[in-house]
Amino acid sequence: MPTFPKRAQIVGQIFIYVLAIVVMGVILIYGYSAISDFRSKSSQVSTIRLQSDLSSSIDALSADYGSVKKKELHLDEYSRICLVESYEQPSLDGLTVDPLIRDSIRSATGKNAFLLKETVEASFTVDAISVDPDVLCLPARVNRVELRLEGKGDHVDVSSWKE
């Protein structure tokens, strides 16, 4: 004759299943937030690495008159980089520029390098660069941009690297 579980055993099993579901839910939520936080910090590190890489290249070349260097920047998740004239006062006449970049130039924030996806996502300052036109935007090709850096003694001319 078959034995059926007693009523207390059924309630105990339901409690165990509910507890297991709650624990799994907490683990999934914690895991998702940890992964999201890791991705965010990874993006910040990538931006800081790009900033320091570009700044150190320009600092090293600015005093070396006539030297030309090809600089490859890895933009990772950004679609383009825009550099603004900082050696002389930039002129925006006749240039089509992202409104956030235009506002930054007009309000004299000192930021002259902008990383864009659809719009400006990050900005930072790079010392004494000269670009022609006064706002140079370069699209990323396979997540990278190739720059031509030419030392001028007290600043660096930056342009697109043309092979």
Q: What is the DSSP letter of 6?
A: P
Domain count, the chain: 1
Q: What is the DSSP letter of 2?
A: -
Are the CB atoms for 125 and 53 separated by under 8 Å?
no
Q: Do the domain assignments include residue 6?
A: no
Are the CB atoms for 128 and 41 separated by under 8 Å?
no
Rg (CA), the chain: 27
Q: How many residues belong to the chain?
A: 163
Q: Do the domain assignments include residue 80?
A: yes
Q: Do the domain assignments include residue 70?
A: yes
Whether residue 4 has pLDDT greater than 70: no
CA pair distance 41, 153, nearest whole angstrom:
37
Q: Do the domain assignments include residue 108?
A: yes
Nearest to 145 by CA among 124, 120, 162, 157: 162
CA pair distance 57, 54, nearest whole angstrom:
5
Q: Residue 137 is part of which domain span? A: 48-160
CA pair distance 56, 86, nearest whole angstrom:
16
Nearest to 154 by CA among 71, 86, 72, 78: 86
Q: What does the pLDDT look like over 25-68, one tens digit per residue?
A: 999 999 999 999 998 888 888 888 888 988 898 888 888 888 89
Residue 133: partners with Cβ closer than 8 Å, 6 or more residues away: 95
CA pair distance 136, 159, nearest whole angstrom:
8
Residues paired with 72 in a beta bridge: 146
**Least confident window among 7-11, 44-48, 135-139:** 7-11
Dihedral pair phi/psi, residue 137, rounded to 5°: -110, 125
- pTM attached to this predicted model: 0.74
- Band of the pLDDT at 152, cuts 50, 70, 90? confident
- Band of the pLDDT at 154, cuts 50, 70, 90? confident
Q: Do the domain assignments include residue 60?
A: yes
Q: Do the domain assignments include residue 23?
A: no
CA dihedral (153, 155, 157, 158) positive or negative: positive
Q: Do the domain assignments include residue 17?
A: no
Q: Do the domain assignments include residue 10?
A: no
